[in-house]
Chain A
């Protein structure tokens, strides 16, 4: 890859308001302060083409080798360990997404052809994995190289293609992260990890797509595996956890039913009461009354 650098003001990027910076660079000599640690609101990808790079991402030290990709989320800090770029070759892309929140809400912008629920799934994976290095993704290098070729040649349809490549990059990262973090062999282990994520974010309105994406399976295969393993559909299994947690709150006696409902992920106390009654035969408040024994 030859040296290449464009940023927001360049005319090549007129058609891409979401791209802040795109570059590929060979580093032949060490320059001080060439990569200072900076926190930014942009979404940043850094791909190592050649060399060995010591980087600090969100206060964590990482060593990257050719084929590795660093994914830096908005709000995270990133820079060289010694505030400089090591010798080698890298390419990078800075993006401004329409929206990216810690809650998992991510909107790409009009340029992207990813559906809303897919964005949600991808952002959940990025936020939950807490692992900002995707190792051995040569494909990411190919995507970045293809983007550069499109920028240089500006052949017919190049805006669409560049945007597709960016979508591709997000998809690649999401899929690779789930593969990297889940054994494709040990379903019980993988499911236990998913269970943990569900419990830690129980008030979140989980969708089937999000859960499947976290495990790295398509929705059909995911539903089938979960059903086989647990005896429940994924959403029914989730209801099980919600009700079990609700029961614990009910038995504690000091939390209001409406708060319990929201805390464990029902969208209203009405929804909670109906589901609870259908399963147990009790309304939540009745259950509370009749299942805490009078201390002797």
Chain B
């Protein structure tokens, strides 16, 4: 029996998943690693700990689930979070920790570039919004603020590039992850000279660009031995987790969009064309040659709700978050649609799409003497989904969206999905059988296509079957529309106050 393994290098954890050749789940295993914040705006991870966590989990998983069942591993396909930067020296040794997507140190560099003519050109050429998350701005920051490290750097890698290099010896970056660096021309699939010049680096300081299906590399002998794998196992470089999740959610073709609701979230569509947004509000990443994933990210999805639960939930036992969450959601369901006029702005960690305002902050608006705690719970969830809706509306300036396919941890709550259907006035589907997550499924589909089981990714995407999902109720949608109008207007109207309060908080 043959099997396919996917390895997801996520924001806080690695996940190893195995599928049989028909795409049925064999098993999966996860291992987490910490994010360090040496300063409030810094978010870093230790590349060696990520590597060891990956190796540990992969090895145990193979020994417990795969080898005893006599599965023969055909390929291992990677995916990872976007926007990471890891400088390495001339001996290939990391110079400190990797800077991850949520790191905000390059805010000033990003703001300056964004409002310039070059910024607009780079956004159009690279598809990556000009933001602190973008490796382009992170490298610029290093050049200006960490001169020794910048000078000692031989290459700037992504975390995935480093992990794969440890296993195989090659420095490669796929089109997908490269397209989220702000330095890849998404039309020519080559590094964009203007971007490199702005960052002050040259091509040799970046990894070699390869297609997401690239598999011309082998595990080092030592790892073949210790993992019990032979040199025939294909190592597929894979894509970014966002692109994988979109593919794995079965979204392909007109009118379909995916909504990912994890700690942060995003709405995405797949298309042959790049979305051209005058106001630079949307991203265009490369899924594979000629296929673009376009959409917008939010900073405050599950994380905003988890914040609420942690602060105000009724904890019967220490750290029992899940139970607590269920009880809160249960309470919220007793409140009427629109939370009787209580509106939550979920911008606890600033916001990306569509307002792209790092200074934005949270607020409850419209409080009156009759509001109870459960109104806050419902308003919190509704506010999070209004934020998704505002991204969806922006996307709809360019694409028609007829239905949504939801995935991610919080997509397992029917209550959330019904609110989503009502706010968007569109049906929301989820994958049949709760099974493996969409990122892993995307990895399977990409692998299966590379192995010749599907003609192309478009055909592969049809393999994902969606359930008959949650359907919008018209009268709910009209109520939400009235509330959303206030939400949308507050989100921009408070611009000056957001800036003032953020400044106060920075000085605390």
Please report A residues at the B interface, Cβ cutoff 8 Å.
Answer: 183-187, 190, 192, 195, 216-217, 221, 225, 229-232, 236, 240-241, 243-245, 247-248, 251-252, 279-282, 286, 290-296
Contact = CB atoms under 8 A, between A and B. Distances in A.
B211 to A, nearest CB: 25
A248 B52 CA distance: 12
A184 B314 CA distance: 11
B34 A240 contact: no
Contacts of B56: 232, 236, 240, 279
A244 B48 contact: yes
B52 A244 contact: yes
Contact of B225 (A187, A244, A281, A296): A281
Contact of A187 (B31, B46, B53, B319): B319
Contacts of A281: 222-223, 225-227
Chain B contact residues: over half helix, strand or loop, or mixed?
A: helix
A282 B51 CA distance: 14
Can you list the 5 inter-chain pairs with the closest CB atoms, starting with the nearest? A281-B226, A244-B49, A231-B31, A281-B222, A293-B92
Contacts of A216: 318
A282 B56 CA distance: 14
A2 to B, nearest CB: 39
Interface in B60-107: 90-94
Given A231-B31, A295-B91, A279 B318 contact: no
B59 A184 contact: no
Contacts of B313: 185
Given A293-B91, A296-B90, A240 B52 contact: yes
A285 to B, nearest CB: 13
A247 B74 CA distance: 30
Contact of A248 (B48, B57, B91, B315): B48
Interface in B321-375: 321
B445 to A, nearest CB: 25
26 contacts: A185-B318, A186-B310, A190-B319, A195-B34, A216-B318, A229-B32, A230-B32, A231-B13, A231-B29, A231-B30, A231-B57, A236-B56, A240-B49, A240-B53, A240-B56, A241-B49, A243-B52, A244-B46, A244-B48, A248-B48, A251-B94, A279-B226, A282-B222, A290-B222, A293-B91, A294-B91
Point out which of B55, B56, B321 has the most chain A C-beta atoms below 10 A from its C-beta: B56
Contacts, number: 86
Interface size class of B (residues with CB under 8 A): 35 or more
Given A183-B310, A231-B32, A279 B53 contact: no
B231 to A, nearest CB: 14
A227 to B, nearest CB: 11
Contact of A279 (B46, B52, B90, B311): B52
Contacts of B227: 281
B59 A279 contact: yes
A255 to B, nearest CB: 13
A231 B92 CA distance: 29
A185 B91 contact: no
Given A251-B93, A281-B223, A185 B59 contact: no
Contacts of B29: 231
Nearest to B226: A281
B91 A187 contact: no
A222 B228 CA distance: 33
A192 B35 CA distance: 9
A280 B221 CA distance: 11
Interface string B197-229: 000000000000000000000000011011100
Given A293-B92, A296-B90, A185 B31 contact: no
Contacts of A244: 46, 48-49, 51-52
Contacts of A292: 91-93
A279 B55 contact: yes
Given A192-B34, A291-B92, 18 more contacts: A184-B315, A185-B309, A185-B311, A185-B315, A185-B318, A195-B34, A230-B31, A231-B13, A231-B29, A240-B31, A240-B49, A240-B52, A247-B48, A247-B51, A279-B56, A279-B59, A282-B222, A290-B222
A185 B310 contact: yes
A51 B134 CA distance: 57
Nearest to B49: A244
B321 to A, nearest CB: 7
Contacts of B222: 280-282, 286, 290
Nearest to A278: B226
A49 to B, nearest CB: 31
- With a 10 A CB-CB cut-off, give which of B57, B93, B313 has the most chain A CB atoms: B93
Contacts of B48: 244-245, 247-248
Interface string B22-53: 00000001111010000000000010110111
B59 to A, nearest CB: 7
A248 B46 CA distance: 10
Interface string B420-435: 0000000000000000
B31 A232 contact: yes
Nearest to B324: A185
A243 B13 CA distance: 17
Contacts of B321: 185, 187
A296 to B, nearest CB: 7
